[in-house]
Amino acid sequence: MNAAMKAPRVVRYAAGLMALASSAAWANGTEPVRWQLNMIPGVTATSQNAYQAHMIMLWICVVIGIIVFGAMAYAMFKFRHSKGAVPDTNFTHSTVLEAIWTVIPIVILIGSSIPATRMVIEQYNADHNAAPAEMTVKITGYQWMWRYEYVGQDVNFISRLDRESDRIRQEGSLPDAAVNPHYLRDVDNPLVLPADTRVRFVITADDVIHAWWVPALGWKQDAIPGVINEAWTNVKEPGTYRGVCAELCGKDHGFMPIVVKVVPKAEYSNWLAQQQKAADQAAAPVVAEAPVAAPAEADAAPATEPAVTADAAG
């Protein structure tokens, strides 16, 4: 490969590294970007717990790697065979050293498990150290769409891939990122939630195993036929957060995105009222109009001449 062929690849690598270094890559913490290597912080306590746990372990691993590989590099250079180095059996078979590098990993694991366990309990226990949920949403997975039911609110609807994305993929056209920035990641009916509200989810499926996953919320939960799984969230700030089905569920697995739209409480109340009104109108019985009565025979036909009486004839 000549220099002319290598140049574009080098430019792409440099651009990717610059994107990683740029703070814009982490501007909203909700959407992945090209060349991204790290997790997103997310917008909930659960997602931020996961991010913090990940970063703690990352830096522990970095420190361990520097010490271990630094010691290896120093030993290989300082005590190389070409300099006549001879192994020291007292050092390599030291009981004290064996104890040290056995105890230190145990301490690291125990120290890491304490915050990790606390964060996992908070993630899976919907009522842990908090007031009960203010609302409940039932999520049901189908091949290949989602049903959202607002428990106790008489509102439920199907959410599936938006029509434009479906048209493009069915035709085999090349999507334009400028025109369709969320190709295959938009839906016709997003899940609408109020901001700063503790929401409980009950998740199941109707046919095969699915998994409801929105990375910005910080968790994923399997949707299994005949099983009810639980999760919870509380998004403080309004925004739109996207996810996907994270369980291989059939040929259109890649075409059942998730969109969660978090809005202020007042806007959510208006939206919910509109949905309830539409549901009531759809459920209202249709009253048939009474049939129009046929016109009376006297009105329909001309009157016959009256019979001639004797008096009239006289």
Give the HSE-up count for residue 135: Cα atoms under 13 Å, Cβ half-sphere: 22
Max Cα distance, the chain (Å): 163
Helices assigned H by DSSP within the chain: 3-21, 45-78, 89-92, 95-124, 163-171, 265-283, 297-300, 310-313
What integer pLDDT is reported at residue 125 of this predicted model? Answer: 65
Residue 71 and residue 79: Cα distance in Å, rounded? 11
Residue 70 and residue 64: Cα distance in Å, rounded? 10
What integer pLDDT is reported at residue 262 of this predicted model? Answer: 96
Which residues of the chain form CATH 2.60.40.420? 135-283
Beta strands 135-142; 229-233: pairing state: unpaired
What integer pLDDT is reported at residue 304 of this predicted model? Answer: 47
What integer pLDDT is reported at residue 273 of this predicted model? Answer: 94
Element (H, E) at 146: strand 145-150
Which residues of the chain form CATH 1.10.287.90? 26-124
Q: In terms of C-beta density within 10 A (0-12 exposed, 13-18 middle, 19 or more buried), how is residue 50 classed?
A: buried
What integer pLDDT is reported at residue 7 of this predicted model? Answer: 40
What integer pLDDT is reported at residue 15 of this predicted model? Answer: 36
Closest to 155 measured CA to CA, from 281, 241, 286: 281
Residue 230: strand pairing partners: 202
26-124 folds as: Helix Hairpins (1.10.287)
Closest to 159 measured CA to CA, from 180, 137, 144, 170: 144
Extract the residue ranges of the chain whose pLDDT is less than 70. Answer: 1-29, 89, 92, 125-131, 286-314
What integer pLDDT is reported at residue 86 of this predicted model? Answer: 77
Exposure string of 201-218, with b = 16+ CB inside 10 Å and e = fewer, is bbbbbeebebbbbbbbbb
Alpha carbon dihedral 18, 22, 25, 27, in 10-degree steps, equals -170
What integer pLDDT is reported at residue 93 of this predicted model? Answer: 76
Can you give the pTM of this predicted structure?
Answer: 0.71
What integer pLDDT is reported at residue 158 of this predicted model? Answer: 95
Structure tokens at 153: 């609110």
What integer pLDDT is reported at residue 290 of this predicted model? Answer: 56
Local structure of residue 294 (DSSP, 8 states): P
Beta strands 219-223; 191-194: pairing state: unpaired
Please state which architecture CATH assigns to domain 135-283.
Sandwich (2.60)
The residue type of 233 is T
